[in-house]
Amino acid sequence: MSKPNPTDRRYTKEHEWAKDNGGGTVTMGITDHAQELLTDIVFVELPAMGKKITQMEQLAVVESVKSVSDVYAPVSGEVIEVNKVLEDHPELVNQDAFGEGWMVKLRMDNPAELDNLMDAAGYTEMIKEEKH
Amino acid sequence: MKKTPLYEHHLALGGKIIDFGGWAMPVQYTNVIEEHQTTRMKAGLFDICHMGEIEIKGPQAFDLLQWVLSRNIVEQAVGQIKLSVITNEHGGIIDDLTVYKFNRDHYMMVTNAGTKDKDLSWVAKQKEIKGFSDVQITDISDQTGKLDIQGPLSQMILQHITVDDLVPLRYYHTMNTRVMNFPAIVSRSGYTGEDGFEIYANSEKIACIWNTLLEIGADFGLKPVGLGARDTLRLEAGMMLYGNDMDETITPLDVVYGWVTDLEKDFVGSTALRKLKEGSLRRKLVGFEMEERGIARHGYKVFKEGREIGEVTSGTFTPTLQKAVGLAFVPISYSEPGTEIFVQIRNHHARARVVGLPFYKRKKQQ
């Protein structure tokens, strides 16, 4: 069973989360449900600093032994920090997807975009339906 | 999708099911890395019921096989297994398979799952063409269940339910025995680079053997292993996968199957292959290791000095070696171990180096 989805952040249909840090920036990563589907993550490709990205454009790549999956930007903005630790420890995404397994910090172009995303209850409901 | 007799067991074990050549097969139960390590360190149990078994029987069994196989089987002893390919008239690989010899007039070909029907009609057609009337070709895949038990503790576990002593059974040899008192064929062989066995028994009895092995094996650390780890295990061991690394456009001389191809004898495709060998072979399948971050995958392009020179056929992150490796077709001139090549991973040309195969070799016991 995946961990509960924290209520302090928003969620995309593609299983990313975005947490508003205040000051116009967000931290993002993939959900615990997503890491569970991927299982053994062995590689995370992070974007370059300063990269400009539009909401739901491809931002990063995660690879398990078997598969390659795109990670999308939950909001439009600029990459201001990446979690370098993942380069040597991609397994952190499996172990702590909502915490130490975070991927990118973005400076948002338009904070109102967060409202396009689901809240924890909505996302939890969505993945429940996926299973049927 | 077709299901093996163990389908329900896979679901009960939490297996994640995928479509593998039309078969509903478990890709993993827990995760690929864990299952891979279990096989290398202890033992893994694989459902291989999807693979094909074709019986070749009769006074002309040898003649037919000698004609369809690239391998010369003159010296194949009773109880011995030979790896071989079957090729079309142009030398293209129809399948790679193992051939079991039970007695002078009785053989079994073990084929890939997706190629079995094609192999069957090809061999039947060759029998017709050559006029070999005294040989029967029988598809025994449905009634034959197959399990692989692989890893250093395999023998200890399997011995518990096998009536004959497994110790004298040599690598790539087979014997008729009884497993849980059911008639069975057991060979010391496999697709992982570890010591291990392939077990063939009636498909109605296979679930019983599967359950008992898991039960007895639990104390030894035996776990069920899915196709995901089967793929990383075989790739580390430098073994190829039909459909991935080769198909009918590839000849055994292009890949690492020159050694199973005897151009001194006549077989389907031998004329074409001799010509190819006299001319210049253009490409070769090589192993490579990534030197820059990134994982090469099937279909990724290979570059040298900015020019596209080939393609990756298999690639993964290997759990034992903890690095990204793969197989790729490159021109002969770039096939020497040590040659620097580049693999295009998304928008980046990542540095890699040609290395000798296999990537992983188990330490000899005793």
pLDDT digits (tens, 9 = 90+) for B289-344: 999 999 999 999 999 999 999 999 999 999 999 999 999 999 999 999 999 999 99
pLDDT digits (tens, 9 = 90+) for B148-193: 999 999 999 999 999 999 999 999 999 999 999 999 999 999 999 9
Q: Considering only CB atoms, which chain A residues are within 8 Å of B32?
A: 39-40, 64-66
Q: Does residue A102 sit within a domain?
A: yes
DSSP B356: -
Tokens, residue B151: 């890893």
Q: Which CATH class is domain B7-51+142-236?
A: alpha beta
Q: Does residue A132 sit within a domain?
A: no
How far apart CA B30 and CA B40 sit, in angstroms, is: 16
B17 and A CB contact within 8 Å: no
Number of domains in chain A: 1
Confidence category of residue B282, pLDDT binned at 50, 70, 90: confident
Q: Does residue A4 sit within a domain?
A: no
How far apart CA B349 and CA B307 sit, in angstroms, is: 11
B295/A68 Cβ within 8 A: yes
CATH of the domain at A62: 2.40.50.100
Nearest to B33 among A43, A65, A87 (CB): A65
Q: Does residue A5 sit within a domain?
A: no
Count of pairs with CB atoms under 8 A, one residue in A, one in B: 41
Q: Considering only CB atoms, which chain B residues are within 8 Å of A40?
A: 31-34
Matching CATH number, B282-355, of 3.30.1490.20, 3.40.190.10, 2.160.20.80, 2.40.30.110: 2.40.30.110
Matching CATH number, B52-139, of 3.30.70.1400, 3.40.50.720, 3.30.430.20, 3.90.105.10: 3.30.70.1400
Q: In chain B, where are the structural domains located?
A: 7-51+142-236, 52-139, 282-355
How would you classify the pairing of strands A16-22 and B283-290?
unpaired
pLDDT digits (tens, 9 = 90+) for B244-272: 999 999 999 999 899 999 999 999 999 99
How far apart CA B106 and CA B178 sit, in angstroms, is: 19
Tokens, residue B70: 């690239």
Domain that holds residue A18: 10-119
Nearest to A65 among B30, B32, B293 (CB): B32
Distances (CA, A) of A85 to A90, A91, A92, B33, B149: 8, 10, 9, 21, 38
Give the ipTM of the model, two decimals please: 0.87
A68/B297 Cβ within 8 A: yes
Query: Which residues, including other chains, have CB under 8 Å from residue A100's CB and lie 6 or more apart?
Result: A85, A92
Q: Is the pLDDT of residue A57 over 80?
A: yes
